[in-house]
A and B are shown apart, each in its own frame.
Chain A
């Protein structure tokens, strides 16, 4: 792998500023990488190389005239194929949408484009952001580069794979029950689900509007901060977009955690299904934070099942409401896991839905009350239950078999990062989650960055 394919967004940005490389040279290098690796790992569904080279030339022109638009100007990125891109096919991973070409850009791509980013293409996502590795998917699923027999995690699967294989330094995913953090964890990269409403959902194909989050994925938390700064902010054209503005998160980045108080959520670490390896990885992460100057306190939240059930009920119910007309006509054209997961929503009554929404309020209030009572800046718990499952062993309703450890942050809307935590005995990436107070996304990313700086051995790209 070339140095350019390996470099971080922050490094690439400084190369471009210092004119050590042009955006066209960088874009061409990544196009060669994609051409060499995409057939093997299938991260990109649609490549936009001509557009990318045109945008790169424009970025180089701005650099020559000293009118760069910021750290992302000239940096190649890719989008999960659930984000609308004008005149570029956007499939949401479904054969039903194989010829769908939006007439407008999503808010996220509007902002990235305005920041000077270069679009390399659209990344594979599981069908309608809720499917999985069915044998009958319309598009080939991405393969986990750490072990191609194991699942990448979904639904931002292509993003996790493209980052881990050096095809792209920055990507945008979305997360309703863990769809940024799960592929980030299973592919060994970084990702943050920002505070609910911080990044506009306009033009992101909805799975469940009240739980959907748009957010960045990259190979480091510092790069996630650079991306988040470019895409966050109020959007008057989308009803869930928050009016609350926060300062840029990237300046918060530092190498220590002095003064931070982190709560280890012990009942999440001990929850049903969490492997001893995942627990140990989380404990080791807490030791690193302690060495970096943080104070660690042990706390307990309500049962992980409570968050999982409320999240699953709301998500499935809203997903069925979005898709029921499509299901009536074309159920047989939807892939196996997707149609089974979404169909469950047909059996959730209005009373059940309201019960889950009420539980959401109670659980959210309880979570933040506990953080306030114990003066906690952050919460920490395992990223995943254990190793990624094998592709042919992903159950249709896995979130009813064991609790979903990513669900609490979707339900509460809190910012939540997936952070690398080494490798398991099977040599698969492990991770932990850091969550924060509402709109404290910068604090989450700063702590994650300090941890990554202290553990460089956990960063491993696939050659």
Chain B
């Protein structure tokens, strides 16, 4: 289990804030998935830096040749 992992207590608090009832979730699995996603998201840092254009509604016409 992940109880002694860094970030666990904060993660449980996030669950409460989001009204997620942990009785219905395999908390260990969701916690690990969150950690994995955060790790993967950090790889996008360089691509989408603070200077890049702010996200807006996706318009396929913008990319049409």
B54 close to A362 (CB less than 8 A): no
A310 to B41, CA, bound (A): 8
Are A306 and B64 CB-contacts (below 8 A) given A328-B19, A354-B54?
Answer: no
Within the complex, the shortest CB–CB distance from A95 to chain B, in Å, comes to: 14
Interface check B65, CB cutoff 8 A:
yes
B30 close to A343 (CB less than 8 A): yes
Interface check B9, CB cutoff 8 A:
no
Are A439 and B41 CB-contacts (below 8 A) given A331-B20, A332-B24?
Answer: no
A357 close to B55 (CB less than 8 A): yes
Give the most central of B48, B53, B63: most A CB within 10 Å.
Answer: B63
Interface check B4, CB cutoff 8 A:
no
- Size of the chain A interface, CB-CB below 8 angstroms: 52
User: A322-355, CB under 8 A of B: which get 1 and which 0?
Assistant: 0010011001100000011001101110001011
B20 close to A438 (CB less than 8 A): no
- Size of the chain B interface, CB-CB below 8 angstroms: 36
Interface check A266, CB cutoff 8 A:
no
Q: What residues of B have a CB within 8 angstroms of the CB of A363 in the complex?
A: 47
Which residues of chain A (198-242) have a CB below 8 Å from chain B?
A: 198, 210, 242
A438 close to B41 (CB less than 8 A): no
Q: What residues of A have a CB within 8 angstroms of the CB of B11 in the complex?
A: 347
Q: What residues of B have a CB within 8 angstroms of the CB of A1 in the complex?
A: none
Which residues of chain B (1-54) have a CB below 8 Å from chain A?
A: 11, 14-15, 18-21, 23-26, 29-30, 33-34, 36-38, 40-41, 43-45, 47-48, 52-54
The 5 A-B pairs with the shortest beta carbon distances in the complex, nearest first, are A357-B55, A358-B48, A346-B18, A328-B19, A438-B64
6 contacts between A and B (CB under 8 A): A196-B58, A305-B43, A339-B25, A352-B38, A438-B63, A439-B60
